[in-house]
């Protein structure tokens, strides 16, 4: 009944979405390495997320919400382009190297904020970029009027220290529109406050804001008062992780308050999701757990099981989406770009390149609910997965194991492999995946750890031959605490 009421509510209001004077502001908030079960609206009882819970209650919770990749950079490439990132060879995390003009998201790809910019939106990104650190990939060159944050895959939460080895840039200065910038206090709070200022600076034209937290990604650092709040959690990693999520939730509240204070909340579409599932310990990486929980799903970051790609996913737009809606059918992060572009342009016909679906008609038209749809994954060029609209999933998560088949409605933990019982279903899904994969290309990027090793070797090879013969050895780079 609730879903039917939502359909009727949206049906009466959708016609006004396209009015240029009434176009909503759009905010996408992305957490980093957040476990599925680590918010109140997804079942957490030991971590307090009142602002996320209120956001979920004010709109629609997509209980089958997915991202396009099980870890950071490629997932963000899919989100920002609105296309499967395998189409343009972005299949691993790029190394942080501001001097490399080839190591980032393809310059031929139009990111969806650039489409919104062209449609008259003021655009901003605050926080983590991770799509290339060189000029061709800089946010200000890829559709954003405003950028405050860092270009790499992570950052220390308390300090900037240019005496440290650069590596992945975790202690490098932040940037504000191409110029060095700093932050005071705790990074998550600084990013949230900057996002609130972006909202406050709205001058009447619609805006798009991408608030890309690095929380709760490692390093596990949080203010002492936040850690003390979770003294009831005995595991130290879980305690620090909970504190990081708590401060991020408070920051989201700061942004929502800014919308309310500027009378913008009703006509602002806010998305929230994580870039992938929370990292879990494995036999090969026993210390990789960051304190997160992906219950009830199997696996985590790096896996193609649901623990790696099934994430918390919310959309809230008080003027258009009825509060308290639950949407159980599969959606994916690509749909955010499609929805935003449809709203900004006022045109139901999306650019041909976009591979997502406008979510408003999905909510608005009951006949669309049962339409056939497939979601696809490929990782490393060899591991793969496909999910159909009935949530039947066929995957090969490891080359050391055969492919598997799961019916998620009855088996969300992916424990009952059905491939021997239903080989014809597996074959049909495999053919569908192969058809999709024909339009993909090989990864243009190497693993960032391998890249650093090659770069180190390059510098060693640049030492004059005579110096090597005299027994030269590189001086270890000191680390300052």
- Model confidence over 4-50: pLDDT tens digits? 344 334 434 443 344 555 899 999 999 999 999 999 999 999 999 99
- Which residues, 6 or more positions from 84, have their beta carbon under 8 angstroms from its beta carbon? 68, 78, 334, 355, 376, 436, 440
Q: What does residue 89 show for φ and ψ, rounded to 5 degrees? A: 75, 30
The predicted pLDDT at position 16 comes to 39
Closest of 258, 271, 112, 272 to residue 198, by C-alpha: 258
The predicted pLDDT at position 13 comes to 41
The predicted pLDDT at position 284 comes to 80
- For the segment(s) 374-437, the CATH number from 3.20.20.140, 3.20.20.220, 3.40.50.970, 3.30.1120.10 is 3.30.1120.10
The burial of 13, by beta-carbon neighbours within 10 Å (0-12 exposed, 13-18 middle, 19 or more buried), is given as middle
Structural tokens at position 481: 């605490």
Do the strands 179-181 and 146-150 form a parallel or antiparallel pair, or are they unpaired?
unpaired
Closest of 397, 388, 365 to residue 300, by C-alpha: 397
Residue in the structure block whose two tokens are 């590189």: 474
Rounded distance between C-alpha atoms, residue 110 and residue 100, angstroms: 20
- For the segment(s) 2-368, the CATH number from 3.40.50.970, 3.40.50.1220, 3.40.720.10, 3.40.50.2020 is 3.40.720.10
The predicted pLDDT at position 196 comes to 98
Tens of each residue's pLDDT in the chain, 481 residues: 444 344 334 434 443 344 555 899 999 999 999 999 999 999 999 999 999 999 999 999 999 999 999 999 999 999 999 999 999 999 999 999 999 999 999 999 999 999 999 999 999 999 999 999 999 999 999 999 999 999 999 999 999 999 999 999 999 999 999 999 999 999 999 999 999 999 999 988 999 999 999 999 999 999 999 999 999 999 999 999 999 999 999 999 999 999 999 999 999 999 999 999 999 998 888 889 999 999 999 999 999 999 999 999 999 999 999 999 999 999 999 999 999 999 999 887 899 999 999 999 888 764 555 578 999 999 988 899 999 999 999 999 998 899 999 999 999 999 999 999 999 999 999 999 999 999 999 999 988 888 989 888 888 888 887 775 666 666 565 554 4
3-state SS, the chain, equals CHHHHHHHHHHHHHHHCCCHHHCCEEEEEEECCCCCCCCHHHCCCCCCCHHHHHHHHCCEEECCEECCCCCHHHHHHHHHHCCCHHHHCCCCCCCCCCCCCCCECCCCCCCHHHHHHHCCCEEEEEEECCCECCHHHCHHHCCCCEEEEECCCCCCCCCCCCCCCCCCCCCCCEEECCEEECCCCCHHHHHHHHHHHHHHCCCCCCEEEEEECCCCCCCCCCCHHHHHHCCCCCCHHHHHHHHHHHHHHHHHHHHHHHHHHCCCCCCEEEEEEECCCCCCCCCCCCCCCCCCCCCCCCCCCCCCCHHHHECCEEEECCCCCCCCEEECCCEECHHHHHHHHHHHHCCCCCCCCCCCCCHHHHHHCHHHCCCCCEEEEEECCCEEEEEECCCEEEEECCCCCCCEEEECCCCCCCCCCCCCCCHHHHHHHHHHHHHHHCCCCCCCCCCHHHHHHHHHHHHHHCCCHHHHHCCCCCCCCCCCC
Instruction: Give yes or no for a contact between 271 and 29, defined as CB atoms under 8 angstroms apart.
Output: yes
Entry pTM:
0.93
The predicted pLDDT at position 460 comes to 86
Instruction: Give yes or no for a contact between 214 and 34, defined as CB atoms under 8 angstroms apart.
Output: no
Q: Just list the catalytic residues.
A: 72, 130
Instruction: Give yes or no for a contact between 378 and 91, defined as CB atoms under 8 angstroms apart.
Output: yes
Q: How far is CA 391 from the centre of its chain?
A: 22
Instruction: Give yes or no for a contact between 245 and 215, defined as CB atoms under 8 angstroms apart.
Output: yes
- Model confidence over 419-466: pLDDT tens digits? 999 999 999 999 999 999 999 999 999 888 889 898 888 888 888 877
> Do 374-437 and 2-368 fall under one CATH topology?
no
Rounded distance between C-alpha atoms, residue 226 and residue 229, angstroms: 5
The predicted pLDDT at position 381 comes to 85
Q: How far is CA 330 from the centre of its chain?
A: 17
The predicted pLDDT at position 368 comes to 54
Q: Where are the domains of the chain?
A: 2-368, 374-437
Closest of 104, 108, 110, 113 to residue 133, by C-alpha: 104
Residue in the structure block whose two tokens are 């669309």: 368
């Amino acid at each position: 009944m609730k879903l039917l009421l939502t359909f009727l509510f949206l049906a009466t209001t959708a016609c006004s979405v396209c009015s240029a004077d009434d176009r909503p502001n759009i905010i996408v908030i992305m957490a980093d390495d957040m476990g599925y079960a680590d918010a109140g609206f997804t079942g957490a009882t030991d971590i307090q997320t009142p602002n996320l819970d209120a956001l979920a209650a004010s709109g629609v919770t997509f209980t089958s919400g997915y991202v396009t990749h099980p870890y950071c950079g490629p997932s963000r490439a899919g989100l920002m382009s609105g296309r499967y990132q395998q189409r343009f060879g972005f299949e691993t995390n790029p190394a942080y190297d501001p001097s490399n003009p080839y190591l980032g998201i393809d310059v031929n790809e139009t990111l969806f904020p650039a489409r919104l910019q062209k449609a008259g939106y003021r655009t901003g990104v605050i926080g983590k970029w991770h799509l290339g650190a060189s000029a061709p990939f800089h946010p200000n060159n890829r559709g954003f009027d405003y950028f405050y944050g860092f270009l790499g895959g992570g950052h220390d939460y308390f300090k900037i220290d240019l005496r440290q080895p650069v590596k992945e840039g975790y202690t490098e200065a932040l940037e504000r529109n191409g110029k060095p910038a700093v932050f005071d206090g705790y990074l998550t709070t600084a990013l949230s406050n900057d996002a609130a200022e972006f909202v406050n600076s709205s001058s009447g034209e619609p805006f798009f804001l991408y608030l890309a937290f690095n929380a709760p990604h490692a390093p596990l650092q949080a203010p002492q008062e936040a850690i003390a709040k979770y003294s009831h959690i005995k595991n130290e990693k879980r305690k620090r992780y909970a504190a990081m999520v708590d401060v991020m939730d408070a920051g989201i509240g700061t942004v929502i308050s800014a919308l309310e204070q500027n009378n913008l909340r009703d006509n602002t579409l806010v998305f929230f999701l994580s870039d992938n599932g929370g990292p879990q310990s494995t036999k090969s990486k026993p210390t990789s757990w960051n304190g997160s929980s992906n219950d009830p799903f199997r696996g985590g970051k790096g896996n193609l099981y649901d623990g790696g790609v099934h994430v918390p996913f919310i959309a809230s737009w008080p003027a258009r989406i009825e509060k308290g809606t639950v949407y159980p059918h599969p959606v994916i992060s690509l749909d955010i770009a499609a929805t935003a572009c449809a709203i900004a342009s006022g045109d139901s016909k999306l650019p041909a390149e976009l591979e997502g679906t406008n979510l408003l008609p999905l909510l608005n038209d009951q006949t669309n609910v049962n339409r056939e749809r497939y979601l696809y994954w490929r990782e490393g060029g060899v591991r793969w997965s496909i999910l159909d609209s009935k949530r039947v999933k066929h995957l090969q998560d490891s080359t050391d194991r055969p492919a598997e088949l799961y019916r998620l409605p009855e088996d969300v933990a992916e424990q009952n492999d059905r491939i021997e019982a239903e080989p014809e279903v597996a074959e049909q899904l495999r053919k569908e995946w192969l058809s999709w994969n024909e339009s993909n290309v090989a990864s243009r990027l190497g693993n960032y750890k391998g890249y650093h090793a090659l770069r180190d070797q390059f510098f060693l090879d640049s030492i004059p031959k005579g110096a090597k013969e005299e027994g030269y050895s590189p001086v270890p780079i000191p680390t300052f605490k």
